[in-house]
Amino acid sequence: MIKHAYVFPGQGSQSVGMLADLSATYPIVKQTFEEASNILNYDLWKLTQEGPEEILTQTEKTQPALLAAGIAVWRIWQEQGGSKPILMAGHSFGEYSALVCAGALEFSDAVSLASDRGRFMQAVVAEGEGTMAAVLGLEDAKIIEICTDVNQGRVVSPANFNAPGQVVIAGHVDAVKWAMKQAKAAGAKRTTLLQVSVPAHSTLMRPAAEKMAERLANVTITTPTIPVIHNVDVSIKNEPADIRAALTAQIYSPVRWVETIEKMVADGVTMFFESGPGKVLTGLNKRITRKKMKTLPIVDTLTLEQALKALEVSG
């Protein structure tokens, strides 16, 4: 039997119209979004299908949408007889989706947590004060060095180690722009300012993490039935207290995605499935594993069929 892993994307994978094709065939998609809508008190499915995009991209709206999408695809996977993965992980917020599918978090609790997490993150940094940027074609060590060199009390630090030669930095707008300039001077192929207002995974998010810790303390978390690798330290956690601590620290700590995928490969994973929406992780994983591992997204009926077929062929 093939050893496969299931991974869940984070913010940036959302899009207006996502999962529309799957919803036409599988009623569980809209049912999942309806469950979330009843908790949120607004129509999450309508928002994802009709927009407007500027509302969908607001952090407190994006995160519940990503959660519902990931859970919906996982439910279809189970309905269609997709086998149980040996490992799960989520990129940034995607970790919540992984924990729900692994049985550690109730979906209803995760929906509320998703909305609050987004709201806490948006509230701690004034609009226009924080941002993120992608740096391409520079060694991780050099980017860390550049970020460390910033002074005068401004914050910029690595936020996502996404793939070899692809790191996202986050912090104060002026510090991020300074680091981008230094990265270009050091030989970076490209630096791109991202269209976000929240400097996620930077120390500016510590106040949001403190609020999130209070919320998590009142939510039931159980030992996952499928091991989940956590972003913050690339480890599997079984104790509820340790999972709460990881989810709290995750908000202001970098996403160590390269190491996460490398650990999965070391643990025997030979195929990855990305539980929609989008194909961001599929692209990153191919770069990390240098295309040696099959990585398949599940975003519509065609890709679902391809994923299930891949398991049959390899099984």
If you ran DSSP here, which 8-state letter would residue 42 be given?
A: S
**Is 201 a known active-site residue?**
yes
Looking at the DSSP assignment, which residues form a beta bridge with residue 192? 134
From 13, 23, 37, 92, active-site residue:
92
- The type of residue at 112 is S
Element (H, E) at 160: strand 156-163
From 91, 172, 201, 230, active-site residue:
201
Q: H helices of the chain, where?
A: 20-25, 28-40, 44-50, 53-56, 59-79, 94-101, 107-123, 140-149, 173-185, 206-217, 240-250, 257-266, 280-288, 301-314
CB atoms within 10 A of CB 214: 11
**Is 4 a known active-site residue?**
no
Q: Which residues make Cβ contacts (< 8 Å) with residue 92, sequence separation at least 6?
A: 10, 11, 160, 200, 201, 231, 250, 255
Residues annotated as catalytic (active site), given as ranges: 92, 201
